Structure 1
């Protein structure tokens, strides 16, 4: 298949939706940084998007089967190597060591690590050719592959990104034909852990405070009992009030202008959209996300290759989890944690990973009719 044929086979709707999301994100970044010391950050976002279109298109035109094959082990090893490297040479920003300095660009290795992990798991799942997953031969190695980057990322500490791996794991295992018994056992284990935390919070707070990290304890306490410490719940309360003040069509952004929304240009950017553009702006954003996920699901349904289907399902799980948690934590549905809103939050590493993810999904569509002669 020629390059021009591949370009014609690109899913234009997916690309248009992504461009619309990045445009909304750029507008929101402008609103969050204007008349601050970060003014002009929106132009940096445009430059990054334009630059990252190159690797995205490269991924789309490259046959994904080359990446989901044996090369996935190399990419995964490279990703783990970067996560280990950041422990020793990473930049400490706001008490967390998550970034590697590459020239003027700060790379967050946990972002590409998500993509590399999905590639390897798609490869491992495809080897079963749709058969039921076995406990020792399949689920155990898959669990280890997920556990290594998750633990390394939690140590940075970065609970938000590490939890994304859980969402990816659940989505890929479900589509990978896991036995219902195993899935029920896994979900029961999760429920037991959450239930134990809730029980300890109310029955033995002192013991719980020794088990979890102080910053994690603070977020759990803020979520379960916002009145326990007004200072700790300040962020969430202001976010909810700001979104509520947006009404139907938005407000003048008083909470934003007065500095009541920390990191409004990155993790808290949904608050900017909710306050300044109101319910209408939030609805448009959610509609675009729905269209994006719909198109990705459509690519899965059209795929004739299990590895391609598993790959896109993993990417869908990654996007859906981040969207739900980021928006949910600002409206009081889930505890506050650091996690970006795909294509909206400012951040070079997250934007690069998200665009590469779209490129990989596009590749599955472009090469769905290509016969693997290997």
Structure 2
């Protein structure tokens, strides 16, 4: 078991990574939430049949309530948020209560937002069950979606701890592995070229082999913790974590969160951002091997929503990094070094056309 400390201005907390970390849960609560008056576990309809009883089995010393939401991005909504608040009130949870997020990114974001606002804030613990949640469970960003865009309603609310039990990844479908691994690749591209080289040289297929999985997750969380520690509230370099997300979120929203996972959309967004970076910087950023590797791992380079350039542009203008409708995009100066640049609307549209032509030519060769 590995322990990674996240140190921010507002809080310091541990992230435990390894097999069987869930066994630490009871003692962790007693240490970090003394006098815990009750627990609400928030999970979803996919995770509950697999792991809810196991987690409850670790909590025999506590009064435990559970709330199961429908699986999927549509649950990150004002509707489900209100239901969660109402359920917590019916359970009569007070300010000494604890919320546990048991699931992937949707559960963690929703449960964390409920924790941040219920009675003006109660404590919570993240128990990720997906590879993608290695990213979303660390750093304290919590929130829900709006019909106009993703994650437009939210807060910064750090957890008391994160328990990442890699045994929970055994039931993940291939699509979820691709979704999570995209965010790991992103961390190498923006912060650690050596880590990117390790990934592209050693990860030949998904799922990640067991002998490499712990090392990969640990390094990814270390990089995320490093960035969050330097910039907790996204005033500077934390924005670099959004590489690929400006277009990725637009693709997700335009598809109504139905036909593509978050990480798969982000990967397309990263490919586009790299091509845009190369046009903006007038130099090559990554080698051809990168594109071959991504395809080998099963990622698509295109999505039908990208035929709607004008609509995607309007979606991109809703991005949180923007200022007065001026699109700010995370670009790469080189592998391992990111920057945030203002990009004109016409350049965005021109590069979408160029990207479409590149994908079409790549398919034909």
Shorter-chain TM-score tier: under 0.3
Structure in which a larger fraction of residues adopt helix? 1
Query: Greater relative contact order (Cα 8 A, min sep 6): structure 1 or 2?
Result: 1
Q: Which is higher, the Rg of structure 1 or of structure 2?
A: 1
Q: Which has the larger strand fraction?
A: 2
Task: Give TM-score scaled by structure 2 length.
Answer: 0.26
